[in-house]
């Protein structure tokens, strides 16, 4: 296992810049995502905005051979959904948009759920509960806490609501590379796992399913769907461990009252 990289004050500031640029991408998407557009339309809009408006780089494009600026994961797709002209958003859909952005050599990673106007109650509840689970995990972050505390907070809340937590995919350290140490599991036991230190940067990105936690990868080699075809939701932020707690580097404007 490679070493966890503690970010210097200068590196933290560069990651802050990337994180706030990424927040602007979601602010743009808030007025763009709607029924009737394709997931490829979303991809093209995101890539143009990152490159032309923000003078930055969509970090997922070319990573591990992936060809797009983001992952688009609707309904039963757990993660890694591939943009397509043939996938058109319907009024009842929920969809996760997962975007990475690199500026000045440092990467930020975040995802947000978008709920279409006619999405059913249980779909909306899953989206909200997954968001709350992510924040419960984030609020465990402080020097001296352990990664198991983060996973426990997420898992115990999600399971209390009757959901399952996806175990095959997890959060990760991030900085100059998209995926660094440590791995951040979204399940676990308190007082176990790596002890958190000031300067660590990593993602917290729980994937919560209505039914089984198990998924399968489609023939495209990327898209992971629930085995029982029930809905899945995910939210993600990039988090810095500060001297006294945490800072959400990808915080969006509408979330500022949560801090």
Residue 118 predicted with pLDDT over 60:
yes
Neighbouring residues of 156: CB distance < 8 A, sequence distance ≥ 6: none
Instruction: Please report which confidence band the pLDDT of residue 1 belongs to, taking 50, 70 and 90 as the band edges.
Output: low
pLDDT digits (tens, 9 = 90+) for 131-176: 999 999 999 999 999 999 999 999 999 999 999 999 999 999 999 9
Q: Under a CB-based contact definition with an 8 Å cutoff, are residues 69 and 47 in contact?
A: yes
pLDDT digits (tens, 9 = 90+) for 34-45: 999 999 999 999
In the predicted model, is pLDDT for residue 47 greater than 70? yes
The predicted pLDDT at position 257 comes to 82
Closest by CA to 19, choosing from 79, 80, 97, 100, is 100
Over residues 94-123, mean pLDDT: 98
CA neighbor of 189 nearest in space, from 146, 229, 218, 222: 146
């Amino acid at each position: 296992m490679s070493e966890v990289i503690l970010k210097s004050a200068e590196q933290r500031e560069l990651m802050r810049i990337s994180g706030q640029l990424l927040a602007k991408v979601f602010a743009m998407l808030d007025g763009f995502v709607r029924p009737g557009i394709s997931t490829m339309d979303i991809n093209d809009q995101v890539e143009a905005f990152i490159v032309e408006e923000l003078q930055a780089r969509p970090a997922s494009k070319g990573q591990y051979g992936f060809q797009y600026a983001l992952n688009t994961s609707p309904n039963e797709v757990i993660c890694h959904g591939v943009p397509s002209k043939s996938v058109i958003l319907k009024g009842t859909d929920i969809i996760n948009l997962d975007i990475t952005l690199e500026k000045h050599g440092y990467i930020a990673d975040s995802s947000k759920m978008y709920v279409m106007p006619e999405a059913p109650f249980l779909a909306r509840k899953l989206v909200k509960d997954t968001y709350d689970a992510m924040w419960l995990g984030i609020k465990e972050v402080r020097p001296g806490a352990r990664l198991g505390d983060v996973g426990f907070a997420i898992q115990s809340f999600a399971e209390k609501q009757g959901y399952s937590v996806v175990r095959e995919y997890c959060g990760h350290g991030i900085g100059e590379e998209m995926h660094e140490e440590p791995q951040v599991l979204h399940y676990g036991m308190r007082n176990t796992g790596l002890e958190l230190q000031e300067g660590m940067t990593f993602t917290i990105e729980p994937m919560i399913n209505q039914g089984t936690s198990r998924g399968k990868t489609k023939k495209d080699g990327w898209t992971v769907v629930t085995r029982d075809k029930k809905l899945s939701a995910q939210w993600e932020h990039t988090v810095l461990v500060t001297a006294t707690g945490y800072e959400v580097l990808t915080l969006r404007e509408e979330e500022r009252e949560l801090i």
